[in-house]
Amino acid sequence: METSGQKIKTKALELGFSFCGFARAGSLEQERDFFVSYLREKRNAGLHYLERDPEKRTDPRLVFEGTQTVIGLLLNYFPKEILPEKDNFIISKYAYGKDYHEVLKERTNALILFMKEEYGSARSKAFVDRGPVLEKAWARQCGLGWTGKNTLLINPKKGSFHFIAIILTDLLFEPDTAETGHCGNCTLCVDTCPTGALEHPYVLNPSKCLSYLTIEEKAGIPEELMDKFHDRIYGCDICQDVCPYNRFAVPHAVNDFLPSPVLKSYRKQDWLQLTEKQFDSLFKDSAIHRIGYEKLIKNIRIAAGSL
């Protein structure tokens, strides 16, 4: 029997999530066709994990048996204070503080526990950027935003600086209305991408994207892109910074996402002299730690023009 999910939405907001929505579980036919073509044309660059379980990625019922509802959650990470960019190297805003996987995991687990308390035998499973779930597609189905020309989820009220969490549950809730696109004729993200990674609106070539190159690339940075870093050493927010919808972005209220005093004090000379011990201390709880010291140092040298 279909029930209202208002209690869940209210609890999600109490836990600090910015938005919560519901969608009926099923096969994402349009996304499946795109995804099959995407993999066949090898547009996933070195993101080979996307090749695993392609059918599961477009049907959550194959991921978690008994799934009836997909719950989409957004958590704002837009900082109150942007780290200094003058005489500095730049890291993406999402990596200022603690690893978002851990922060969202704690909150989704708390929401699942609440659902069990409210609905007894409810079975649910959370996904945060891991597992065969198309987070952006389901967030759109849940009415939380649309996929913009920069290929990121854009919420019409608060922009794109949000993490996405997905919960699959066997509870049946009234679905929200899927969001539709509102980019209109705007192409600022496409026009300002320094590497031309947005080859067409809604089409990203990961092998050119600064986020991919500074985080995921293992084979080496193409020489023709080495002068395109523009001081960026981990991630890139350019296509978000220019998006008109991000004029609605408001500072987050998550202490775990605040940068440390040491990180706030860093300037180019500090980065260039960074030791492995300092790296481990500064980023021990950060998503940046995953790429390792050697990768970050290589990014710094490329950005500094010394490689």
Q: How many CB atoms lie within 10 A of CB 305?
A: 9
How high does pLDDT run on average in the chain?
A: 93
**Contact 145/139 with Cβ under 8 angstroms?**
yes
In this prediction, what percent of the chain has a pLDDT beyond 70? 93
Q: Report d(CA 112, CA 204) in Å as an integer.
A: 34
What 201-208 contacts at long range (C-beta under 8 Å, 24+ apart), as own/partner pairs, is: 201/149, 202/147, 202/148, 202/149, 202/151, 203/151, 204/150, 204/151, 205/43, 205/45, 206/43, 206/44, 206/45, 206/46, 206/47, 207/45, 207/46
For residues 281-307, give the mean pLDDT: 95
Q: Report d(CA 63, CA 99) in Å as an integer.
A: 25
User: Is 191 one of the annotated active-site residues of the chain?
Assistant: no
For the stretch 236-274, pLDDT in tens is 999 999 999 999 999 999 999 999 999 999 999 999 999
Tokens standing for 98? 């603690």
**Contact 250/216 with Cβ under 8 angstroms?**
no
For residues 75-92, give the mean pLDDT: 97
pLDDT band at 31 (very low <50, low <70, confident <90, very high): confident
Of 87, 129, 170, 241, the catalytic one is 129
For residues 148-176, give the mean pLDDT: 97
pLDDT for 130 equals 84
Q: Report d(CA 64, CA 46) in Å as an integer.
A: 27
**Contact 235/305 with Cβ under 8 angstroms?**
no
With 90 as the cut, is the pLDDT of residue 47 above it? no
